[in-house]
Each structure stands twice: as structure tokens, then as C-alpha cells.
């Protein structure tokens, strides 16, 4: 990791941690200690802000796959780029996968949202795509599942427009935000076996959904 990248990453993480400290009520529960070595972090994706809040959980550098639109924002996009995060290009999604695989092989942890898009506004999650499962099989990295929960009606719909293209994001800016980090998982097998890859993808998403439910129960249980 280059010096300029380290500085940008630390600055970005510090700003997000400060924001979360004062404007979020983060309820975080760890079911296990993090394993050694590079990790593949997988989580559900109920809001546009989830990638940034994930950074508060991990002191070590974490490269997050984020939609390319975010990298086009003035100043903010430059910070994402210089911090080592990975843009998911609409014209070439394989590029993000290849970069993530390379970073895991080099010892850097990576975070990916298996749904591939924001979770449904009415609740629940989308079916998992195969990227997380294939990365786990190809790299042997420990998979760290995370379940996020908050009241989705409190997320604000914000439309941004860069280079003539509009995108609607759902930003959760303040309030209770539940996070449950689950037991690390390991997967083995043939990455070319589509049935096996699909089975792993389903296991990953089922685990994430179970952890999100645990987060919900904590937030909604009266003290």
C-alpha cells in the first residue's frame, strides 16, 4: 500500500468514524474474533452508506467494491480512488472482480456486497450473485459475514447527477444502526462447478440474512 494511499485511507476512515460517533447509534456485536490473514467481508446492502460504515469496524485496510458512480463525485470520488477502493464498472464488472482477487492474493482484505445492488426497499435481500463465492474459492480467504439492520423508512432518497447520468441512492444518515459480525467461514471446491458455486452463494446470503435478523432483534428489543 503506497504512502499516499495509506494517508487517504486513514483520513477517510477517521472522518467516517467521527461521523458515526456523533450521528449514528451503532449497535455492533461480534460473534467471533477475526481470523488472521486477508479476509473477504460480505454484507447485506440496505443503504448507499453501508460501505462507509463498514470501515469503522476494521482497523486494518479494507478495499470495498463500490459502484463506479460514487467515484465520479467531486472530492469524495477522489478520496475513494486514492484510498484503494474498487470501482464496479457497469461496462466491465469483471475488472472489479479481478482487482479484488489480486488484492486478496497480495494480503489485503476486501469487502463485497453479494446482492450486487441495494437490498429491496420493502425489506429482505436480493439473491446473492456468484462473485463472493468465486473469490472465496479462488483465494482461500476467510469469509467474514455481516448482517446490517436499520428501519429502512428512515433512509433518505437522494438523487445525484454526474456527467449527465442520474443515480438514486438511499442514505441512512442518523439513528440506530445494527451490525452483527458472524463466525468466519471457509470454502473449498471447484470454482468451475456452477452448482457448487451457487450452493456457496446461497449459504453466504442465508448467513448474512440470519445475522441481519439478529441485528434487528437487538435494536427492537426493549431495554
CATH code, domain carrying 159: 3.40.1130.10
Structural domain range at position 56: 3-217
pLDDT band per the 50, 70, 90 thresholds, residue 223: low
Looking at the structure of the chain, the number of domains it has is 1
The pTM assigned to this predicted structure is 0.92
- Chain mean pLDDT for the chain: 90
Overall average pLDDT of the 194-222 stretch: 96
Examine residue 187 and state whether it is found in any structural domain, yes or no: yes
Q: How far apart are CA 118 and CA 114, in angstroms?
A: 10
| Contact indicator for 28, 179 with CB cutoff of 8 Å | yes
Residue 75 has pLDDT above 70, yes or no: no
Examine residue 186 and state whether it is found in any structural domain, yes or no: yes
Higher per-residue pLDDT: 221 or 17: 17
Examine residue 37 and state whether it is found in any structural domain, yes or no: yes
Examine residue 223 and state whether it is found in any structural domain, yes or no: no
Least trusted range by pLDDT, from 69-78, 99-108, 120-129, 204-213: 69-78
pLDDT band per the 50, 70, 90 thresholds, residue 7: confident
| Contact indicator for 215, 64 with CB cutoff of 8 Å | no
The pLDDT value given to residue 158: 84
pLDDT band per the 50, 70, 90 thresholds, residue 76: low
Least trusted range by pLDDT, from 2-6, 160-164, 193-197: 160-164
Examine residue 222 and state whether it is found in any structural domain, yes or no: no
Residue 148 has pLDDT above 90, yes or no: yes
Residue 57 has pLDDT above 70, yes or no: yes
Overall average pLDDT of the 56-80 stretch: 80
Contacts of 180 (CB under 8 A, 6+ apart): 28, 29, 31, 146, 147, 211, 212, 214, 215, 218
Amino acid at each position: 500500500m503506497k504512502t499516499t494511499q495509506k494517508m487517504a485511507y486513514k483520513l477517510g476512515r477517521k472522518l467516517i468514524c467521527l461521523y458515526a460517533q456523533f450521528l449514528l447509534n451503532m449497535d455492533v456485536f461480534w460473534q467471533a474474533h477475526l481470523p488472521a490473514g486477508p479476509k473477504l467481508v460480505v454484507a447485506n446492502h440496505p443503504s448507499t452508506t453501508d460501505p462507509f460504515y463498514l470501515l469503522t469496524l476494521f482497523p486494518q485496510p479494507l478495499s470495498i467494491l463500490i459502484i463506479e458512480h460514487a467515484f465520479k463525485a467531486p472530492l469524495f470520488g477522489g478520496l475513494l480512488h486514492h484510498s484503494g477502493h474498487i470501482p464496479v464498472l457497469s461496462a466491465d464488472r469483471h475488472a472489479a472482480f479481478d482487482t479484488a482477487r489480486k488484492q486478496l492474493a497480495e494480503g489485503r482484505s476486501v469487502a463485497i456486497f453479494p446482492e450486487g445492488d441495494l437490498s429491496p426497499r420493502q425489506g429482505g435481500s436480493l439473491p446473492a450473485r456468484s462473485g463472493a463465492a468465486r473469490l472465496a474459492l479462488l483465494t482461500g480467504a476467510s469469509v467474514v459475514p455481516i448482517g446490517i439492520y436499520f428501519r429502512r423508512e428512515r433512509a433518505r432518497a437522494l438523487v445525484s447527477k454526474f456527467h449527465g447520468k442520474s443515480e438514486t441512492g438511499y442514505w441512512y444518515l442518523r439513528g440506530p444502526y445494527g451490525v452483527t459480525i458472524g463466525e468466519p467461514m471457509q470454502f473449498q471446491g471447484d470454482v468451475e462447478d456452477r452448482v457448487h458455486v451457487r450452493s456457496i452463494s446461497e449459504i453466504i446470503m442465508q448467513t448474512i440474512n440470519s445475522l441481519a435478523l439478529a441485528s434487528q432483534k437487538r435494536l427492537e428489543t426493549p431495554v
